A and B are shown apart, each in its own frame.
Chain A
């Protein structure tokens, strides 16, 4: 649906790599251009009209983001460069300050690198212990497995809401409830969730959450870190400098601004934030429930079609997000992706930044189709048609 909104879809491509990044609707591109063409000044310097306009638009984008995830306060929404930066800020700025040697961090084998490596570094720095919540036979997290994994040393559980390779959706609300009963914090990597689901941070009662703008029709280089206000107040900035300080005279006399500005040092990605605000308005216009429903139906359509091909192994049959990971039996994933590229069909091959997953699934790499609301049944038909003839794949993959 809404294909006509996307200039990229007027080109002769079929884009099925939305887990990596999404295409941008014209309204988002126009909004960014409008900033650069008509009021290209800095933020927080409202001494003249166009700068005042920047402040209004920038803070309006924050308000749109707040509403979108239903945060209680605007100060709980911090603009970042993306989910990666958000997760790093959470790990180093908050937990780096409070965790001690022997404290445990629970993650899983199917997390994205951005939700693994910061914790690994904390392990090396502080002597905390990163442990894995066991996955069930479908490689999914269950509430029972979380319950069993929590020990008296557990301080934080950090999980993707939807994983980026297998696309399984975690029961985050139940996990938060259970964790809080045991005084454990919950961090949600929402990079694959916020673009596809209605996420309500108050309903989940999640402590921290991070997502990226570019995976939800917004620009690259912008994202949001959400944290409960009382926790963000304790977060140590990872960057110091302009914009975030109130005043300073010496090392002992540094006064920082209030939230969220304190955590946004330097000139922010103004165009990015304003563009993200527009993307949020756009998605809201379509309706997140509608998007979620549409993707589920399209996934079902794709799975049914792919199952008709005997030599295709689907790795995540059970998942209900728009992510389908599969292999063509006997053909290296990269070679299949290359073959599909000859027909302007964009899919991802590889391990999708979840390098430790291979231990769990036993598959080094796979093809990943990740859907968004502008994909159609005819996109799927084109994919399936190209995969239907294995001889043709072998013939044309080099």
Chain B
């Protein structure tokens, strides 16, 4: 993925994020995730049925990196089983922490491949993952 592709993916998801809305049905669990060093602050709503993520929505205010990363995460996690989702999250974290990771699995979440070089923006990309992990923990 080159810089131009990366930019395009991030800006698309920032301008038109997936599921930035309150849930319109019952049965969602809510988690808040906030960045202590800035004002990024998101509520993430997750609906899990039979060990599978049926839907995720989110609300809140955050920077372009956090919003786009949340949108991309939602796109990728809906439909996955809990363990598949956890694997995706682990691979994303590995990428952000500059460790070995499965490029293929991450799809357009690869757009944050060089986020580690941007220091303080690492947390912005990780923000939705920090939130959803708290919910998935309960299903282990």
For B14, list chain A residues within 8 Å (CB): 398
Residue of A nearest to B60 (CB): A364
- Of the candidates B39, B40, B62, B65, the one whose C-beta lies within 8 Å of that of A398 is B65
Interface residue A68 (Cβ < 8 Å from any Cβ of B) = no
Q: Are B61 and A398 closer than 8 Å at their CB atoms?
A: no
B106 lies within 8 A of chain A by Cβ: no
Q: Which of A350, A351, A398 contacts B64 (CB 8 A)?
A: A398
What's the least CB distance linking A254 to chain B, in Å? 40
A245 within 8 A of B: no
Given contacts A332-B61, A332-B62, A332-B63, contact A398 B38 (CB under 8 A): no
How far in angstroms is the closest Cβ of chain A from B34?
12
- Does B10 lie at the interface of the complex (its beta carbon under 8 Å from any beta carbon of A)? yes
Report the Cα distance A364→B61, complex, angstroms: 8
- Report which residue of A338, A349, A364 has the largest number of chain B beta carbons within 10 angstroms of its beta carbon: A338
Q: Is the pair A397, B64 in contact by a Cβ cutoff of 8 Å?
A: yes
Q: Quick one: which of A349, A365, A398 has the most chain B CB within 10 A?
A: A398
Q: Which residue of A lies closest to B11 (CB)?
A: A398
Is there an interface contact between A364 and B63, defined as CB atoms closer than 8 Å? no
* Bound Cα distance A397, B121 (Å): 11
Distance (whole angstroms) from the CB of B20 to the closest CB of chain A: 14
Partner of A351, one of B10, B39, B121, B124: B39
Is B133 an interface residue when CB atoms closer than 8 A count as contact? no
Q: How far is the CA of A163 from the CA of B11 in the complex (A)?
A: 36
Which residues of chain B come closer than 8 Å to A332, judged between CB atoms? 61-64
Interface assignment of B103: CB less than 8 Å from any CB of chain A: no
Q: Is B21 an interface residue, CB under 8 A from the partner?
A: no
Nearest-neighbour CB distance to chain B for A174, whole angstroms, equals 35
> Quick one: CB contact mask for B35-59 with A, threshold 8 Å, 1 for yes?
0001110000000000000000000
Any chain A CB within 8 A of the CB of B7? yes
Is residue A335 within 8 Å, beta carbon to beta carbon, of the partner chain? yes
Q: Interface digits, A333-346 against B, CB 8 Å rule (1 contact, 0 not)?
A: 11100100000000
Number of interface residues of A (CB under 8 A): 14
* Chain B residues whose CB sits within 8 angstroms of the CB of A338 once the complex forms: 63, 118, 121
Contact in complex: A365, B39 (CB < 8 Å): yes
**Are the C-beta atoms of B61 and A349 separated by less than 8 Å?**
no
Q: Which of A80-128 contact B (CB under 8 A)?
A: none
- Determine how close the nearest CB of chain B comes to the CB of A362; give it in whole angstroms: 13
A369 to B68, CA, bound (A): 27
- Tell me how far the C-beta of A53 lies from the nearest C-beta in chain B, rounded to whole angstroms: 41
In the complex, which residues of chain B have a beta carbon less than 8 angstroms from the beta carbon of A364? 39, 61
Flag B54-82 by CB within 8 Å of A: 1 or 0 each.
00000001111100100000000000000
What B residues does A349 contact at CB under 8 A?
38-39
> Is A334's CB under 8 angstroms from B39's CB?
yes
Q: Hey, which chain A residues are within 8 Å of B39, CB to CB?
A: 333-334, 349-351, 364-365
CB distance from B112 to the nearest CB of A (A): 10
Chain B proximity mask over A351-365: 1 for CB below 8 Å, otherwise 0: 100000000000011
Closest beta carbon of chain B to A117's beta carbon, Å: 16
* Closest residue of A by beta carbon distance from B6: A398
Least Cβ distance of A279 to chain B in Å? 28
Residues of B within 8 A of A395 (CB): 7
Once the chains bind, are A335 and B38 in contact (CB under 8 Å)?
A: no
Q: Nearest chain-A residue to B111 (Cβ)?
A: A398
User: Does B63 contact A350, Cβ atoms closer than 8 Å?
Assistant: no
Contacts of A335 in B (CB 8 A): 63-65
Q: Which of B40, B61, B64, B118 has the most chain A CB atoms inside 10 A of its CB? A: B64
- List chain B positions with a Cβ less than 8 A from chain A: 7, 10-11, 14, 38-40, 61-65, 68, 118, 121, 124
Given contacts A334-B38, A364-B39, A394-B11, 15 further A-B contacts (CB under 8 A): A332-B63, A332-B64, A334-B62, A334-B63, A334-B124, A335-B63, A335-B64, A335-B65, A338-B118, A349-B38, A350-B39, A351-B39, A365-B38, A397-B64, A398-B11
